[in-house]
Structure formats: C-alpha cells, structure tokens
Amino acid sequence: MKYYLYALILILSAAGATLVVPFFASISQNSLTFLQIPQNYLPQVAGIESVNLIPVNLGQKVPELGARSVLVKDIATDTILYQKDVNFPVPIASTTKIMTALIGSSYFKPNSILTVEDSPEILGSKVGLVRGEVLSFRSALYAMLLNSGNDAAFAIAENYPGGVLGFISTMNKKAQELNLRNTHFDNPAGFDSPNHFASAADLAVITQEALKDPDLLRIFATKDTIITSLDQKYTHNLQNLNKLLWNVPGVLGVKTGFTDAAKENLVTLVERDGHKVLTIVLGSDDRFGESTKLINWVFQNFTWSSQDMNH
C-alpha cells in the first residue's frame, strides 16, 4: 500500500498540487479515503485564494429620497454603500418583529405548541387568531412575518417564560448584547411609544442576526401560505405585505412596518449575481418606491471587484 501512496504523492507533485495530509480520513492497507475539503479551507489548498469581492462605487448619483433614515449595506463585506441619519433613534413600527422573531426562535422550536391567550384583543394588523387557539411556533412566525400580525407577535410573547414582560425584557437584553445603543423595546409588535425605538444602523445589526437563521430566512422570503391550528379548527390565509417580493427581481424579504408616528418602513434583503445587499428605509412616505430606487441604484452604480482598489 505504501508504494501506491508514494506514487500518488509523486503524481500530485508533478501536477503542481499540494498534498494536505490532514484531509486523509484514513490510510490503511486496504483503503485510502479522502474527506471533502471544507470550503473555508480552500485558501490553504493548492494556492487557491478566497477573497470577498469589494463593492466599487461608479459615481452615479444617489436617487432623491424623502425617508428619515436610510441604510444600504453589502452583506458579504459589511460595507456601507449609502447612509443617511443611520444612528438617529426613530419609531420602527412592525420592523420590531424582526427582533421578536429572533428572540422567539432562540427559545421555541418550530413545532413548539403555543396557546393563544389575550392576543386577539390586540389592536392593529391581525391575522385573526382566536382565544384558546393552539398552533405551532412556526405557524405563529409565518403569521407575524407575512401578514405582520400583532396578535401573532403577542401570542409568541405570551407563551415565553415570564409572559409578555419577560419577552420584552429579553428583547432589551439582546439589544444590549448586540451593543445597540440607540434601541429600546416596550412591546413585541412595534406600537408607537416614547420608549420604543431603534436606529437604522441598529436595525441592520438585528436583521443580520436574524438572517443567520435559515428558518427565518425562508419565512422572510415566503410570498403566501396557509396556516392551520393544531386541531384543524382554524385556518388563516397569509400573504406577505412586502410588494417588492412580487415586483423587484432578487428580493428575499425581510419586513414591512407602518404606524402614524413611524410612517412607512421597510427592511429589504436583495440578492443579484451572488451579491446580497440590505436596504433599510425608515420614516418614508413611499417605502416600496424608495426601496426600489435604492436597489436599482446599487446594482447599476456598484461593481464587485476582487482587486483591492487601494493598490
């Protein structure tokens, strides 16, 4: 067997390849097995380099925007492509539910059973949950993130240890853990309150944390679905409120929001040609129109290069 191994080494050396011993799973008299090389190890193998492509600004003028706060970020490199008052705390309406989803998902399993208590009495956008209805946490997430159901948001919080107050406390603890200095929550749905606010920069951090969860990523991108209570007694037809999912190529969600004080808000993840970009528009009179302008500007104005433009 050792002669075959020596021959293999000579062949690889002649081909200019580098033999990486740790990737032999086993070398025995009867077999020679290779483990698959992890993608993040490629820079160390055979001279292959893994480089994040750098967004390069081509100098096109940013579209005129009326939104109070705006943030555009390249996800892969964490590069800010455009910003406007991103550290200013403002009401964020139902974009709050990104944090609600993040906290809920850190505690509940997708098939965890929730019992609806007082949430049907909650005002604003609702999906029509009924007191005593029993549904899975996954169903509640869909109801909250597609239809922006305030009743679903409170149902999640009601079933958390310590109830709604315990849930809100955990939301604020998470904000502290993420070092969000311009964020504070006092409800899980996004109702206007002097003690409920975030900045565009902080909301970007929250969103990027949520995007690490593949289940949330899938729900954010869902256009419509139907959820049913566990006893099959109640059925709720859901449709995502984010119009960009239908109208703008590459959009993958994430969350809408609106109140009188917050005005129109939209957090959007878009991917084109392998480049993921996050846009945040807060305090707008036309969240879909302004977000569409930003997305078009990004992919018309930036090119991604593997070269360091400073050299």
Task: Flag whether 277 is in a domain.
Answer: yes
Average pLDDT value for residue range 84-91: 98
Domain identity same for 197 and 84: yes
- Residue 207's pLDDT is 98
Q: Do β-strands 235-239 and 251-259 pair in parallel, antiparallel, or remain unpaired?
A: unpaired
The pLDDT tens digits of the residues spanning 251-309 come to 999 999 999 999 999 999 999 999 999 999 999 999 999 999 999 999 999 898 885 44
Count CB atoms within 10 A of the CB of residue 70.
Answer: 23
Residue 85 and residue 69 in contact, taking contact as beta carbons nearer than 8 Å: yes
Q: Please indicate, yes or no, if residue 310 is contained in any of the structural domains.
A: no
Q: What's the CA gap between 311 and 304, in Å, rounded?
A: 16
Cα gap 73→37, rounded to integer Å: 31
State both tokens at 213. 């969860």
pLDDT exceeds cutoff 80 at 17: no
- Domain with 26, as residue range(s), is 2-44
Residues 33 and 110 in one domain: no
In a domain, 174, yes or no: yes
Express each pLDDT in 212-254 by its tens digit.
999 999 999 999 999 999 999 999 999 999 999 999 999 999 9
49 in a structural domain: no
Residue 102: closest CA among 61, 42, 48, 156: 156
Give the model's pLDDT for residue 56.
81
Q: What is the CATH number of the domain that holds 94?
A: 3.40.710.10
pLDDT (0 to 100) of residue 249: 96
Q: What is the pLDDT of residue 59?
A: 82
The confidence score (pLDDT) of residue 45 equals 35
The residue with greater pLDDT, 228 or 1, is: 228
pLDDT tens for 154-167 read: 999 999 999 999 99
Alpha-carbon distance of 181 to 86, in angstroms, equals 12
In this predicted model, what pLDDT tens digit does every residue of 98-154 receive, in sequence order? 999 999 999 999 999 999 999 989 999 999 999 999 999 999 999 999 999 999 999
Question: What's the pLDDT at 260?
Answer: 95
Q: Specify whether 26 is located in the same domain as 60.
A: no
Assess if residue 59 is contained within a domain.
yes
pLDDT at 191 over 50: yes
* 37 and 61 inside one domain: no
Q: What is the mean pLDDT of the chain?
A: 86
Question: Per-residue pLDDT for 310 more than 70?
Answer: no
Do 72 and 193 fall within a single domain? yes
Residues 34 and 163 in one domain: no
Q: Please report the pLDDT score of residue 51 as a whole number.
A: 58
**Which pLDDT score is estimated for 1?**
47
Asked if residue 204 and residue 146 are part of one domain, the reply reads: yes
How do 302-305 and 251-259 pair as beta strands?
unpaired
- Number of neighbours of residue 112 by Cβ within 10 angstroms: 14
- Looking at the domain assignment, is residue 217 inside a domain? yes
> Is pLDDT larger for residue 45 or for residue 252?
252
Q: Considering its fold, how many domains does the chain have in total?
A: 2
Within-domain flag for 296: yes
Are 153 and 36 within one domain?
no
**Are residues 228 and 80 part of one domain?**
yes
Q: Are residues 23 and 140 in the same domain?
A: no
What confidence category does residue 84 fall into, taking pLDDT thresholds of 50, 70 and 90?
A: very high
b/e per residue 83-110 (b: at least 16 CB within 10 A)? bbbbeebbbbbbbbbbbbbbbbbeebee
Within a domain: residue 311? no
Q: Which residue has the higher pLDDT, 121 or 19?
A: 121
Cα gap 103→42, rounded to integer Å? 35
Indicate if 197 and 121 belong to the same structural domain: yes
Looking at the fold, whether 112 and 87 belong to one and the same domain comes out as: yes
